[in-house]
Structure 1
Amino acid sequence: MAPTPRPRFGIMTAPMQVTYDDILRVWREADAIPEIEHAWLFDHLMPIGGDPNGPVHEGWTLLSALAAQTRRLRLGLLVTSNRFRPPAMLAKIATTVDVVSGGRLDFGIGVGSRPHPPEAHREYPAHGLPFTDPAQAVESLAEACTLIRRLWTEPEPFDFHGTHHRLTGAFANPKPVQRPHPPILIGGRSAATLRVVAEHADLWNIPGGDIEDAVRRSALLDRTCAEIGRDPASLTRSIHLPVSYAEPGTTRNAIAEALDAGFRHLVLGLPAPYPAGVARWVTDEIVLTSA
């Protein structure tokens, strides 16, 4: 029997109601702490918490800036909305971040905001973006994953005529630093999305908060992998867990449950405002006592 992979801890700093300097301070601190292995932003265009008219930074632009200011952390968006950007453009953006970071990108992608929380739905009319129905959105995600991988790996231009995306003479140069391509993380929980995960992802992420549901979804993913002939163990299970500064024991308990359920990639969500030394505090109070 293969040994159980060790847990890999990371942080998440939602880029809303904060400044660039706030996030940069936390990421630079985390970059110097080996126990924190990865760091994440989210992908929203308007706040989904706090002041609805408060500041929010565009995820990929900010990620590129942070990639240039760090040296060790793996980094990504948890997760990119496939509804926001055409997949060929997204492939080019992601490649640029992988190059800037020296090959540290974990490429997170998902269907995009369901209208939950309700605040997320207003992003679409506010930016002139269509909000397709769930079935179309999942089909679009599957096509996007195929297209992005091909753009990252194929040496010659190609045409693609899908149901949702059509490209003529598609080609990407440069290619990502990571070969054959950056790891693909897909977030989601519906049965349809989990099929896309089984077909395309290296990592699967689900929000924490209901560990029993996460266990059920993980079992469904196992069955879906088996249906298509994939070894379920080849897919890393990732979970996002909120951090409580006031009650770190609550976070430690959630981590213990997640580890028992087979989740080895743990993303610790840091609420803003970020206390001074928060990355060191998370490491000492949560990571080192949970690993």
Structure 2
Amino acid sequence: MPYTPRPRFGIMTAPSQVDYHDVLRVWREADTIPEIEHAWLFDHLMPIGGDPGGPAYEGWTLLSALAAHTRRLRLGVLVTSNRFRPPAMLAKIATTVDIVSGGRLDFGIGVGSRPGHPLARREYEAHGLPFHDSAHAVGSLAEACTVIRRLWTEEEPFDFNGTHLRLTGAFGNPKPVQRPHPPILIGGRSSSTLRVVAEHADLWNIPGGDIDDAVRRSALLDRYCAEIGRDPAAIIRSIHLPVSYEQPGATRDAIGEAVDAGFRHIVLGLAPPYPAAVARWVTDELIGASVAV
């Protein structure tokens, strides 16, 4: 009988419509609970839900602060928008966080916001960032993953001349703590993104909500892996599931469906305001109950 790895549970605290000290409180609590193994932020420069004029923190800066205040949790951004930062700069930022955390970074990246999401689209215009079409975004992501991995692992400067990215004398020093490099998690569901996942990712994340679609996308990823000669089992399947404080049974059901469908990396999204001792509540009401079933 093939070995099936146990599910590994984490939390996601979107750093928007919330105070820094509230996020810090939740992460510090989670860091003391072994059943919670990873924690995540998102990457938006302006709110994409709630009050459009409300607060939103820059994800990587906040992640570095939280890394310094925790000791055990694996941590990351679910997922970094490849549209916001030049990839070589992002590689340097991620290396810094991996060092600050003592080697606990899971590097999450994706193409960036969907063009049809108006509250996400506005953050590009507001920050003077270009918003290219999907084909450009996916092609840029593939090149970014290549360059970032090389900056993390190669000992000599190199040039890179891609369709979207050109670097001269690129070199990363220091290197990340984790060798050969931090695990790469790519988020997305489009077929073009899944081809990038097949080539570059150690983990693949998809938003929950439609488990049948998630299963179909996972099967498509299997096919793309087979086409390039990669073992599909080499890519851990991750899913983000929103938590209902009022109806924990519905969240437990969603967790059960995801685990049964082969998703072994479960990210539980916590909506603000965070209840007191929310990490313990998540552990007792959701993780413990799901593992016991």
TM-score band (shorter)?
over 0.9
Q: Root-mean-square deviation (CA), in Å?
A: 0.6
* TM-score, reference length from structure 2: 0.99
Partner of 2:82: 82
Runs of 4+ in structure 1 deviating by more than 6 angstroms, as ranges, are none
Q: Secondary structure of 1:65's match? A: helix
In 2, the alpha carbon distance for the partners of 1:119 and 1:213 equals 24
Structure 1 residue 115 displacement after superposition: 2.6
Task: Tell me the SS of whatever aligns to 1:9.
Answer: strand
Match of 1:53 in 2: 53
Alignment of 1:158-197 (within 5 A): 158-197=158-197
Which moved further from structure 2: 114-123 or 227-236? 114-123
Residue number in structure 1 paired with 2:96: 96
Q: Which runs of 5+ in 2 are unaligned?
A: none
Distance 2:100 2:116 in 1: 33
Give me the whole-angstrom Cα distance separating, in 1, the residues matched to 2:39 and 2:7.
Answer: 15
> Residue by residue, what CA displacement relative to the aligned partner does 1:86-108 show, whole Å, maximum 9, x if unpaired?
00000000000000000000000
**For residues 132-281 of structure 1, what are the structure 2 equivalents within 5 Å?**
132-281=132-281
| Secondary structure of residue in 1 paired with 2:221 | helix
Q: Does 1:33 align with 2:33?
A: yes
Work out whether 1:128 is the aligned partner of 2:128.
yes
Using the aligned pairs only, state the percent identity. Answer: 83
Code of the aligned partner of 1:183: P
Aligned mates of 1:119, 1:136 — CA distance in 2: 21
> Match of 1:76, SS?
strand
3-state SS of paired residue (1:122): helix
TM-score by length of 1: 0.99
Equivalent residue letter for 1:109 = I
- Superposition deviation, residue 132 in structure 1: 0.5
Deviation at 1:116, TM superposition (A): 4.5
CA deviation map 1:184-205 (0-9, x unaligned):
0000001110000000000000
Task: Report the Cα distance in structure 2 between the residues aligned to 1:103 and 1:116, rounded to whole angstroms.
Answer: 36
Shift of 1:2: 3.2
Name the SS for the 1:141 alignment partner.
helix
Q: Secondary structure at the match of 2:132?
A: coil
Q: Report the number of matched residues.
A: 291
What is the alpha-carbon distance in structure 1 between the residues aligned to residue 234 and residue 155 of structure 2?
27
3-state SS of 2:75 partner: strand
1:66 maps to what in 2? 66
What letter is aligned with 2:275?
P
